[in-house]
Structure 1
Amino acid sequence: MKTKILLVEDDPDFGMILKQYLELEDFEVSWFQNPEDIVPFVQADFPFQIGILDVMMPNVDGFSLAKMIIKERSNFPLLFLTAKNQKIDRLTGLKIGADDYISKPCDPEELVLRIKNILKRTLPAVTESQIKIGEFSLDTTKLLLSHPDGNTRLTIREQELLLYLLKHNRTIITRDNILDNLWETNDYFTGRSLDVFISRLRKYFIHDPQIKIQSLRGIGFEIDFPTN
């Protein structure tokens, strides 16, 4: 069965090029030039496995559309297309919950590789569906982090990072190690992305002081998860 991609791009020429190339790579692509046409799908039948959203669009920009999608489908993987290299745009997308971004005009081959990497992370390689972490419980099939004070639905990237930290529990892990293995690239923007996701995990675990993700300046992180 082909992977169904939601492509939202208002540029007719660029959108057509992406659609045709992705279809040649054996993806099924639903291309929308008007982001407002997506709204009925978000609240009803949503048959897509991944979304590619242009940031700069009239009426509804890519960030607003992403917030709308994630509100209804918190674990839906998203990749942003941006024509600008401004740091604020990229960080805004990461804070919303995007899994990746790529600047336009982009190399279609690079886009396909990024899509495939995101899709690989959709099914994390774990042997347990229920993992006990201190006072918390992680259901990897539902991306659900549970605690007596409330539950948190993780994004795919958040769970991927958490599982990687658990794999290296009670050790010191370098930033380069995490970036090379999870992001598969290491630059300023991916480094900032890592910081955003680490901050989120710390916030989620605030109710259990035994859980520690301690930053080591110039090195990385010291991980201490009490597990059963």
Structure 2
Amino acid sequence: MNDKISILLAEDEMVLGQIIKESLETRDFIVTHVEDGEKAFKNYQKEAPDLLVLDVMMPNRDGFTLAKEIRKTDKTTPIIFLTSKSQTQDVIDGFQHGGNDYLKKPFSMEELIVRIHALLNRVQLQKDLQHIVIGNYIFNYQKQSLNFQNIKINLTHRETQLLYHLQQHKNEILDRSFILKKLWGDDDFFNARSMDVFITKLRKKLNKDDSIQIINVRGYGYKLID
């Protein structure tokens, strides 16, 4: 299995395209370079790259049109536009057509590489947040839900936030004052009572797995034991 990141580069300026391709390959990326939008779309459908770098102005299908077509079925693969256009509206158009980033020519390769890594890290974080294991549950932070043996349990926004912080400090004490200020804005008596209610709700939603406990460490906070 190849764990390297694959990048589809669509750039009709052959010299620039080759420079970008070689520079990215020295950073251990797998890069496919094509010279027009139609070839890019066919390669995308065949190879499903991890990230796309698209020139805006290229023959057969421009970068904006290509991205718009891809976004009909794929909302997550990162897209970086390359362009010599510099007007604010051009940048806005790029994001409206599904781009995640926009790099104006001329640019440094280091800047492109930094932006690629930033987008890939963001995608990985989103994937991680969709599959957080808590005992025999799968916690999907983004969808605000728990799954237990194909049973979906919906969470409120506050329950999701509280469970996320408990999980991030799993088997450690989550400071009561810290989480109250973080989620409620104040650690006063009434907010503390409200948090106790949410803890009780989470316990009920996690009670299908006896190995999971949320214990009250009196005077300090709560601890999620898994």
Normalised by the shorter chain, which TM-score bucket? 0.5 to 0.7
Once the 2 structures are TM-superposed, how far is the Cα of residue 2 of structure 1 from its aligned partner? 1.3
Once the 2 structures are TM-superposed, how far is the Cα of residue 138 of structure 1 from its aligned partner? 4.3
Change (3 A) 1:95 1:138: farther
Change (3 A) 1:169 1:99: farther
Aligned to 2:18: 16
State which of 43, 47, 50 in structure 2 corresponds to 1:41.
43
Change (3 A) 1:120 1:88: same
Following the alignment from structure 2 to structure 1, what is the Cα–Cα distance between the partners of residues 29 and 17?
15
Aligned to 1:68: 69
The answer on 1:107 being equivalent to 2:108 is yes
Aligned to 1:54: 55
Following the alignment from structure 1 to structure 2, what is the Cα–Cα distance between the partners of residues 8 and 169?
44
Which of the two has higher C-alpha Rg? Answer: 2
1:139-218 aligned within 5 A: none
- Identity fraction in percent: 34
Change (3 A) 1:61 1:28: same
TM-score with structure 1 length normalisation? 0.56
Structure 1: gaps spanning 5 or more residues: 141-162, 172-226
Following the alignment from structure 2 to structure 1, what is the Cα–Cα distance between the partners of residues 100 and 145?
20
Identify the structure with bigger relative contact order (alpha carbons < 8 Å, sequence gap 6+): 1
Aligned to 2:153: none
Paired amino acid for 1:89: D
Aligned-partner SS, 1:29: strand
1:78-89 aligned within 5 A: 78-89=79-90
TM-score with structure 2 length normalisation? 0.57
Once the 2 structures are TM-superposed, how far is the Cα of residue 109 of structure 1 from its aligned partner? 0.6
Paired amino acid for 1:78: I
Once the 2 structures are TM-superposed, how far is the Cα of residue 131 of structure 1 from its aligned partner? 4.5
Once the 2 structures are TM-superposed, how far is the Cα of residue 71 of structure 1 from its aligned partner? 1.4
Change (3 A) 1:55 1:139: farther
Once the 2 structures are TM-superposed, how far is the Cα of residue 98 of structure 1 from its aligned partner? 1.4
State which of 27, 33, 58 in structure 2 corresponds to 1:31.
33
Following the alignment from structure 1 to structure 2, what is the Cα–Cα distance between the partners of residues 3 and 90?
26
Aligned to 1:3: 5
Following the alignment from structure 2 to structure 1, what is the Cα–Cα distance between the partners of residues 53 and 184?
37
**CA offsets, 1:46-89, max 9 Å, x none?**
33100000011123110001111111222111001011111111
Paired amino acid for 2:66: L
Q: Which runs of 4+ in 1 moved over 3 A?
A: 125-133, 137-140, 166-171
Aligned-partner SS, 2:124: coil
Paired amino acid for 1:22: L
1:124-139 aligned within 5 A: 124=125, 126=129, 127=132, 130-131=139-140, 137-138=143-144
